[in-house]
Structures are given as C-alpha cells and as structure tokens.
Amino acid sequence: MKKTYSLPTTNYRLTIGWLYPDLMSTYGDRGNITVLQKRCEWRGIKTKILQINHETTDQELNTINLLFGGGAQDKEQGIVIESLRKKERALKNLVENNIPCLFVCGSPQLFGKYYEPSEGKRIEGLGIFDMKSIHPGPKKDRLTGNIAARLEIPGFTNTLIVGFENHGGRTRLGHSVKPLAKVLKGYGNNGEDGTEGVIYKNALGSYLHGPLLPKNPEIADWLIQKALEVKYKKEIILSPLDDTLAKKAKEMIAKKLGVKL
Amino acid sequence: MANIFLIYFGKLMSKIFRLLNLGNGSTWPGHIALNLNKNFIKQVLINSKTQIIIVAGTNGKTTTAALIKTALKNNGKKVFQNKSGANLLNGIASSLIVNYNLKGKLDFDFAVFEIDENALPQVLKECSPDYLILLNLFRDQLDRYGEINIVADKWKTAINGLTKKTTLILNADDPQIAYLSKNTETKNLYFGVGAAENINKSTDQAADSDYCPNCGNKLTYKYITFSHLGDWFCNKCHASRPKLSLNNFSIYPLPGIYNKYNTLASVLLLRQTGMKDQDIEESFSNFKPAFGRQEIVKYKGKNVQIFLSKNPTSFNQSYKTISDLKAGVLLIVLNDRIPDGRDISWIWDVDLPGIENFKHILISGDRVYDMALRLEYEEYKSFKTFENLSEAIETGINLVEGKEKLYILPTYSAMLDTRKILTGKKIL
C-alpha cells in the first residue's frame, strides 16, 4: 500500500513535556514521544518537545500542554523521585488544570501515594494518583507478558488496548481515581482485581510499558485532542489518520491472547 | 554415582539423540548428569590439565569464542567448545561428556565456554576458569533477565569469589564491566578501543549504563564508540576507564566497531596463552564468521548476508554496518519467541539514520506489523510486509540486482528460521 502524508498547516501548537528521558527510558519509551509528535505533525499541529531534567524551572513546566513519563530502572527511580519532589507543585498544577498526561511502566508509582520497593525504604510519591504500590519481595513472580485490556475512558469503552507489562510492584487504586482499563488477558495493576492503570482528570497511568501509543493510537489522539481543547478552550475534532498497520499489529496480539477485537 | 559412568551413559545418550536426529538433544546428557550428581562439573575438572576460557557478555560471545578457537587450533592446540546455544550449566556438562575420551581423560589444551549472562554466576561456582573474558552488558530480554544493574550485581558477587588463578580480560570501555575488577584477587587485563572514528560525546537512546558504577553520578566521556562504551570518567568520584593493555590490532577480520571489541578481547587472550601476533594475524585472515554473524550464504545464485540483531545495541550496530556498506535491499525479521525475548518494545529505541537510502525494506516475522509501524513513524515509505518468511526471502532475492547482496537483520529465532530456508538445514 502506498502512503502519502499530507502536511496541512494549522495555527495550533503544543509543547510536549518529557520527564527525564535520560533516566526514564527503559523499554522503548521514546516511541510514545515519536507517535505524539508525528500524529500532530501529520495534522499540521506544531510541536515542541521539552525534555525535563534536574535544571528545568517551574516557569518552563508551566508551558507544557501534554506531559509524558516513561519507566525507570530501580536504581534510577530513586534519583528521579528526589528531583521530582522539587517540581511537585508545578506538576500538581498541570494535572489539576486538566493538562493531559501519560505515565507508563514504573512512573505512575512515583505519582501515587507511595511505592514500597522489594528492598529498601518506602518511596513517598507525589500523591497525584490516589493509589498505593507494593512490591511483594524478590521471591514473588514479576507480572510479565503480553496484555490486552478494554479502555474505560468515557467515549472509548469498546476500545481494545494491547501491550507488554513487566513489573514487580502491585498497585491498588483508592476511591478518588478510576482504572484506565479492564483486563481481558494479563495482570494489570495487581493481577487480582482486573483493573489496569489509573485515570484522574486527564492524567493516565498504565503498566503497559514502553511504546504504548504506536499500537494504541486511540490513546495518542485522545491526549492530543484534550491538550488542544485545554489550550484553545474549544471543542476540537482531529482529522483521521490511516491506522491500518496499528490495527494489524493489535490484531496479532489479540489473536495470540485469544481476545476479540 | 561414579562420574565415569555418567560420562559413558551421557556419550551413549548423545549418540542415540544424533542417530534419531532429535535436534536439540545437545544439553540432555549434561542435564541428567547434573541431576544425578550436582558436583559433576567441579569433580571432573579437578584433575584436568585443560585450561578453561569463559566468554560472557550480552553481545559478541559467539564471535569472540570462534576467533579464539580458530586461532588456537591453527596454532596446533587441541581445543573444544560448548555448542552454540548450549550456554547454561547443562551445556557445559554436556560438552565435557562429549569431549572426555573413553579412558576417562580430557585430552585437550583448552576449553572455550560461551556462557549466558544469567548463568555465569552459577557456572563460576562450579568451575574457576583460567581466563574469564567479559565483553559488555547491554539491555537484552528484560522479560527474562531483569534490569542490567541486577545482572551486573550478581556478576560482581561471583567474581569476588575468584582467586588469583583466574585472569580477567575486561572491556575497559564498558563502565560496568571495568568496575567488576575492583577489589578482586584476580589478575586483571583491559582492552578498549584506542580512539573512535566518529567522536561522539553523548550516548544514544539505546545506551544503558552511562552512570558511574562506583557512585551513581552521570558519566562524562572523552569519546564514545557506541552505546555507552568509550573513554569514560566520573566528575564526582574520579573513577575512570582503566589503563588499556591493548587498544588496537593490525587486523580486524569482521567489519563493525563491535567486532573491534571482539577482536581485541581475543588478541589479549591469545597473547596471554603465548601466541605470537604474526600467528594471530595469519589465523584471523582466514577467519569464517559463526553462523548468522555476518555470515554469507549463497541462495539461488545471489549472496545473502545475515547480521544477527537481537537487541537494540546489536540492531543499531548491524544497521550502521550495512548502511556503511551501502546496502540497497534489506529484510528485517522480528520474532518474539523465548530466545528472542517476548518483549519487542526495544525496536523504538533503535536509530535508523539514512533509512531513505534503502531502495527496499522488507519486513517479516511474528511481529511484522510492529516493525512496519516503526518504519511508518520513521516516514519511510518503500517497505513491504510479509507474514510468510519464505515469501519475504524470495521477494528479496528477486529485488537484488547483479552483484548486490540481500542483507537480513533477524532476531535470534528468526535467524535460525532464515538459515533453515536458505540452507535447507536445521542448526539446533
């Protein structure tokens, strides 16, 4: 199939914040940034990527229209949380002001109430998500494998999402947040209650790690649409893109797991 | 149980497996021997005069072991090696069984064992090698091994238990590998690449451990050869790349910067065994690559070259090498079976500079559409997808013109499938 991308131009601009790309990139996380950037570009929406690191100021953080955070290895997670605490107020403001966020893999743990790693002290999170995560110790199996789940975002309730999860921590949601999706095959938040991920305002967290967005463009477009709506204070309808390959890749996982699309 | 019985019994079993053509029987005799006597390896090696060389690391084990074996053999030494892929404890036991003679003697000068990253600590408990070559640690199969820091910690503990009998041959350019020699009783030698062709200052996306192994601070590099390898130092605790015992050699039998490291590791070891540079050069110049590692196979009158690409670093390096060779037609085969790692997220960490120069890219494998998506977001348009690998190979062969080669970048199990189609034979 021949593909051409038209490049319309609009006056829309988005600043996409990317949390600690150096420290929070374990499993191809940057795929999410690529997808957000390209899907904006193909629709004529200009993007700027703001790489957030120790030096980033609150003033810069306030310019963010869409925020992404990937997974850190355990050693790096400790470094990240120290630095995040200094930005706590600015980050909380973003979420409270309905800025869409996507946190995948281990990063939602840092934004929950706390995370108890398998060894060492409890890490106090930023408390943005009403949830607690506990690692049951090195003897318990990690929750690893392909996963399929059905989105619970309003308006998307029939959408299947697929990905790969690999986490030791088990997460329990509190009352003031909702799960992102319902698990069909795989483990999700804790392997027990059938919930996967978390949603609070426009902030999403998911254990589906690394490149979540390439195979699940529905979430990418939801984030872009929300970002534009919040920034430009009007209803936005995005022009559709050809997602044939994403659909086929999704089908392949669904088939492997014996799940209906 | 008497070990000599286990050896006879194992030999018999492995004959039967071969006669019945049961393919992957190469680890069974060792598996059974270890079940009957868990000290089998330790006990049979205790009185042996055979020098043991162990090679470990994420990338380059097979090539390095092959370089060493070839050179030692050419120099008149008796050498045996564990079968490729049989790189756990049971693979070592099996290769001992097969190579013990009927008098119950191991009549060899050297044994070269290529060992899986995860199995290395266990293997070092059973056998203390004369030489231990550690090549690198990259992110690979996180679903199976866990994070690389965990692997490095386990290696460190195991290496701390080695004595001065062992010579460590370490890649000084990989900070985590260089650090393994800290406070050990072993004799330590270091190889590294003297100066980089392309001077990079910052690590790429697939880089894994550019943090100081001593204090955790972000490292600074005078230069980077690829990924997180290079001339590193820490501004905070002043740890730095150790002094190199070897940083260059007159001949590199395979292209690619990663093969420079494999070559340097081999040379450093071969010199330790007393081999002269001239003899090393001579055997390297006739070197034939191990299967799937830049191996060239003739198929329907055309040349096909296979570059095993099993993780982001090896994919990046294979891709760079074939781009430098001005490849026109490329086939990428992405599988997600257990030997490949079931998680293919890493394809989003690979870099594809100059992709527009490829005339055609064909994609196949279990996860063909994931790879296709990756190329779509790279805005590369001349790709074709094939659910059937044979069809992909046939199409590739037909697209190759004149003296051009068809280049194939497969993951591990995809490499075995590809080779089977090209040669009509199974390897494992």
For residue A132, the cross-strand partners are: A114, A172
pLDDT, position B20 = 66
Buried b or exposed e, range A40-67, using 16+ CB within 10 angstroms: bebbebebeebebeeebeeeebeebbbb
Q: Is residue B113 classed exposed, middle or buried when 0-12, 13-18 and 19+ CB atoms within 10 A define those classes?
A: buried
ipTM of the predicted structure?
A: 0.94
Region of residue B76 (left: phi > 0; alpha: psi -120 to 50; beta: else): left
- Tell me whether strands B220-226 and B229-233 are parallel, antiparallel or unpaired: antiparallel
Distance of CA B357 to the CA centre of its chain: 29
Contact B299, B333 (CB under 8 A): no
Query: What's the mean pLDDT when you consider all of chain A?
Result: 93
Q: Is B343 a catalytic residue?
A: yes
Is A244 in CB contact (< 8 Å) with chain B? no
Question: Which residues are within 8 A (CB) of A213 and not within 5 positions of it... i.e. 6 or more apart?
Answer: A31, A32, A35, A36, A102, A219, A220
pTM for the model: 0.83
Question: Which residues are within 8 A (CB) of A90 and not within 5 positions of it... i.e. 6 or more apart?
Answer: A58, A61, A62
pLDDT of A50 higher than 90: yes
Is A242 in CB contact (< 8 Å) with chain B? no
Q: Cα–Cα–Cα angle for A112, A173, A66, nearest 5°?
A: 50
What are the pLDDT digits (tens) for B106-160? 889 999 999 999 999 999 999 899 999 999 998 876 666 667 788 899 999 999 9
The token pair that represents B419 in the structure block: 């080779």
Q: With CB atoms and an 8 Å threshold, state whether B370 touches A215.
A: yes
For residue B273, the cross-strand partners are: none
What is the distance between the alpha carbons of residues B123 and B54, in angstroms, rounded to a whole number?
Answer: 9
Neighbours of B211 (CB within 10 A): 22
Is A215 in CB contact (< 8 Å) with chain B? yes
DSSP state of B326: T
Partners of residue A28 in chain B, C-beta under 8 Å:
312, 345-349
Question: Which residues are within 8 A (CB) of B110 and not within 5 positions of it... i.e. 6 or more apart?
Answer: B50, B51, B52, B53, B72, B77, B78, B79, B80, B273
What are the pLDDT digits (tens) for B28-57? 788 888 888 888 888 888 878 999 999 999
Alpha carbons within 13 angstroms on the beta-carbon side of residue B108 total: 23
Closest to B218 in 3D by CA, of A117, A50, A21? A21
DSSP state of B243: P
Is B142 in CB contact (< 8 Å) with chain A? yes
* A:74-93 residues touching chain B, CB 8 A cutoff: 74-76, 79
The token pair that represents A144 in the structure block: 């690893």
The token pair that represents B52 in the structure block: 């043991």
What is the distance between the alpha carbons of residues A53 and A31, in angstroms, rounded to a whole number?
Answer: 19
What's at B28, amino acid-wise? W
The token pair that represents B164 in the structure block: 């001065």
What are the pLDDT digits (tens) for B55-93? 999 999 999 999 999 999 999 999 999 887 788 888 888
What are the pLDDT digits (tens) for B271-313? 999 999 999 999 999 898 888 888 999 999 999 999 999 889 8
Q: With CB atoms and an 8 Å threshold, state whether A38 touches B373.
A: no
Q: Among partner residues A75, A79, A249, which is closest to B373 by beta-carbon distance?
A: A249
